[in-house]
Amino acid sequence: MVKSIYLITAKYPKEELYALSNQIRRASISICSNLAEGSGRYSPKDQAHFYQMAYSSLMEVLNQLYTSLDMNYVDESTFNSTRDKICAISFLITKLRKSCFTQPL
């Protein structure tokens, strides 16, 4: 996801370098960072918290992708393929988060 977002935002206008481009990149990095931090936590509650943060960052990326489409920074094909990746990742993060509540304490 991070690599896809970096490749997409590399084509954004220069005036977006410190605005939308930067924000969507940071949100995409936050997804994998929170997943990594959650996996290193001992308690299921702590794990679930970081997995929820990853999910929230994923939704932030989706929102910014919609904005990018509205601003014509991405074409519809790029938007659709990236949205499909986001949906797949969303499903996986949701399953991961739910697994925290089925673990024996």
Per-residue pLDDT tens over the stretch 19-75: 999 999 999 999 999 999 999 998 989 999 999 999 999 999 999 999 999 999 999
Six token digits for residue 97: 């988060």
In the chain, where the domains are located? 2-99
Q: Where are the alpha helices (DSSP H) in 1-105?
A: 2-9, 20-39, 44-70, 76-99
Please name the amino acid found at residue 80.
Answer: N
**What is the per-residue pLDDT across 86-103, written as a single tens digit (0 to 9) for each?**
999 999 999 999 888 875
Instruction: Report yes or no: 53 and 41 within 8 Å, Cβ to Cβ.
Output: no
Q: What is the CATH T-level fold of the domain 2-99, as seen in this structure?
A: de novo design (two linked rop proteins) (1.20.1440)
